[in-house]
Chain A
């Protein structure tokens, strides 16, 4: 396996984990913002009718795995992707990547409370913070996913 293939596979795994995380957190965020009163109905009703509490551990595991693989790739990115991006003058794109790096790290930092609040979903004192923390994490993941996608379009591995 060539070096390029190895890093490309890792990048694809990073992307697939991010897709799973995006799906789980989007389901959860919609479920807390628009709680369904009944499971049946149209696509949107079914989308928001998921048992949101069951996603919490999976979200934490996916976030940590996505983060670790992203951090692994990041060292290669710094040399083989960022330098050409800067040479090509894509400063704003790189700036958004830096902001993504901040968002996902802060997201990692709030995961313990996120997990605790969801595992105590029957405690009404956590209802509001659980809701907005979930929405915040979903926002961070969407932001990170879109920025990562654009960066890969600008210069993916092997390009």
Chain B
């Protein structure tokens, strides 16, 4: 019994959920507005972009890489959404087109990392700048407003549920299933834990990694549509700094930065923890300076927990 409890608690996703639960309980006791339906859907909508980006980033991190371009890539995809909408491209075509653009840019990052041999940190940093510069070039620094029914993905509601949150939940469920129950998911984990063994087992590691970068890019495309749809306008700077929040959510959710380990559910819980933290600071009237400090500590604690676990495993 004691061992079972220990096993459950050692599951990082469960630990992250317990943190989220305790945190929510605390904020709920302190603020009468926290456990209201309005605030629940508000937080859910706010974390939808972080959640999807975190899933995208988690896939890359599980393969043992990192993608620093996700923030500006989704900003660029938002700009493409606005450009296509203003060019009167039908809404049903904008979604696949923008996701395709994101996937192609992701493929390019994957190619640089796997085939050219540039470290993921440097390659995606370069792609980040390319995306940012391209977005500025297209927009000229201006926000581009648009009117298209595609904006329902960012601004729409199904009853009380924000469409963007429903998309995040769907993305989460789909990739949780892919990672748990498909050969591709197993190959992704194998490519991140031990490349040599994976290659010996006949896994085309490079192809898996490029595919993961492409999926990451496509999800950035989806985020771009959601973000620009939310305000019916796209700005070049929209994704600035989002990559760090996405990486933080991945780490808080229990994904190992060393690769080969992590769960999509854990990642979504990580995004929720960050969302609740930000929401709590406003509801509890705590200085935003503290918010920055606390977020820093949370990320350090999450990485510390991961490295302690790895050291224990090595022993």
Q: Do A and B bind each other?
A: no
- B contact set with A: CB distance below 8 Å: none
